[in-house]
Copies of this chain bind each other. A is one copy, B any other.
Amino acid sequence: MILHLAAFRWKDDVTDDDVAALTAALSEMAVGIPEIRSYTAGANLHLRPAGADYGVAAVLDDAAGLDAYLDHPAHLAVYEKHLGRMIAERSAVQLPIEEGSFR
């Protein structure tokens, strides 16, 4: 299985309302994409100094599942409406995980 991680730094003009609308849109999107096994997205809790502004983590079965998610019309729509104009910097990684090992 694949753990997909993304961290974002926002442009200076991004508001709390923008972030709340993004999180709502991503949460709704995730429910409608069956290839997504687990999903979480939200503003950084900033429990430590020097972090990014926002994070997403998703569990997929495989690379095809990741493509199905990231290329899904609902994901592209969230990017178009919210994410695209918010991002100053994005950092993403895919890691292999064993089923049930990461929880």
Contacts and interface: CB of A to CB of B under 8 A. Distances in A.
Given A7-B7, A38-B103, A102-B103, A92 B48 contact: yes
Interface string A52-93: 101101010001001100100000000000000000011111
Nearest to A90: B50
Chain A contact-residue range equals 35 or more
Secondary structure dominating the interface of A: strand
A32 interface: no
29 contacts: A3-B40, A3-B55, A3-B57, A4-B47, A5-B5, A5-B55, A6-B7, A7-B92, A37-B103, A38-B102, A38-B103, A40-B102, A41-B95, A42-B95, A44-B93, A45-B93, A45-B94, A45-B95, A47-B94, A48-B94, A50-B90, A51-B91, A52-B93, A55-B93, A55-B94, A57-B95, A59-B103, A100-B103, A103-B103
